[in-house]
Amino acid sequence: MERPERLIVDGRRLDGRRPDELRPLQIKAGVLKRADGSAYVELGKNKVLVAVYGPKEMHPRHLQQSDVAVLRCRYNMAPFSVEERKRPGPDRRSIEISKVVREALEPVLFLHLYPRAAIDVFIEILQADAGTRTTGITAAAVALADAGIPMRDLVAGISVGKADGTVLLDLMKEEDQWGEADMPIAVMPRRKLVTLLQMDGNFTPDEFRQALDLAFKGIERVYEAQKRALREKYVPASEEER
Ligand code: ADP
């Protein structure tokens, strides 16, 4: 596809959103029977599935830490997740994303409760349309909670950026590709602590502040959807028990 002349026309984006709008967001907790915890998230055309295993004994044993559990994250894009088939297996990008995702999630976990254990988080990108690392983080936090792992808070992710000189919430593929800036952010929402912040492109200091404000607004929406997904899974079950 060629770049359209303008990415924003009369204040509307290519998909009709205003600059401060998220794409449609759906989160479901506990979608996989054999994982200890799982979640499925759709954000616009992004489709992300996360499975969590653990805490369990760490193998290989030489990777055990005597005082804490080790969190291991694997971000993986399915070959069919992008327009041109992606070569399967890890590449530099997915290795980097796996690392920053782990660092974004670690602060909410009480890893010292499970010395010598491992917690494995598998993030599978089934369909990609920009913002997959932040969508992966959003899904992973729900899957960790679904696994019953004690957490200080959830972690919610969203990206902000700039296209045609306008600061935007939740970039889709065309805006990520042709825009001037892309800034993925992950936040522990209750205390508003940022656990991931990356940036491509450029912002003026004013635009940067504006983008950060938009990100926090988006994070609130994502956080509400995460909590709703967890309630939907657990509240009906407990009502049935009565
Ligand atoms: P994020 O998905 O977190 O925004 P990037 O900014 O690296 O990460 O990628 C933006 C988008 O570019 C992805 O969501 C995906 O739609 C597309 N993309 C990334 N890697 C590839 C690839 N190897 N082949 C085709 N498209 C890709």
The residue extents of the domains of the chain are: 17-237
pLDDT at 51: 98
Question: Nearest C-alpha to atom 22 of ligand 1 is from which residue?
Answer: 86
Does residue 123 contact residue 133 with C-beta atoms inside 8 Å?
no
**pTM recorded for the entire structure:** 0.96
Q: Is 130 in the pocket of ligand 1 (CB under 6 A)?
A: yes
In CATH, the number for domain 17-237 is 3.30.230.70
157: CB partners within 8 A, 6+ apart: 104, 133, 134, 135, 136, 137, 138, 184, 185, 186, 187, 196, 219, 222
Directed axis angle between helix 132-146 and helix 92-105, to 10°?
Answer: 50
Query: For position 140, what pLDDT does the model report?
Result: 99
- Tell me, using a 6 A CB cutoff, whether residue 131 lines ligand 1: yes
Residue 129 CB less than 6 A away from ligand 1 = yes
User: Residue-wise pLDDT tens for the chain (242 aa)?
Assistant: 789 999 999 999 999 999 999 999 999 999 999 999 999 999 999 999 999 999 999 999 999 999 999 999 999 999 999 999 999 999 999 999 999 999 999 999 999 999 999 999 999 999 999 999 999 999 999 999 999 999 999 999 999 999 999 999 999 999 999 999 999 999 999 999 999 999 999 999 999 999 999 999 999 999 999 999 999 998 866 565 55
pLDDT at 117: 98
Dist. CA 153 → ligand 1 center (Å):
28
Cβ contacts of residue 30 below 8 Å, gap of 6+? Answer: 37, 38, 39, 146, 233
**Residue carrying the six token digits 């950026």:** 161
Residue 237 has a pLDDT of 62
- Does 155 contact ligand 1 (Cβ within 6 A)? no
Ligand 1: does its nearest atom lie under 6 Å from the Cβ of 86?
Answer: yes
Please tell me if the CB atom of residue 47 comes closer than 6 angstroms to any atom of ligand 1.
no
Find all residues with CB under 8 Å of 160, minimum gap 6, and list them.
167, 168, 169, 170, 171, 183, 185, 211, 212, 214, 215, 218
Distance 173 CA to ligand 1 centre (A): 8
Q: At how many degrees (to 10) do helices 132-146 and 205-241 cross?
A: 30
Q: 82, 95, 171: which to mutate for ligand 1, most atoms within 8 A of CB?
A: 82
**pLDDT score, position 25:** 98
Q: How far is the CA of 171 from the centre of ligand 1 (A)?
A: 12
- Residues 160/214, Cβ–Cβ less than 8 Å: yes
Tokens of 23: 């794409």
User: What phi, psi does 201 have (nearest 5°)?
Assistant: 95, -150
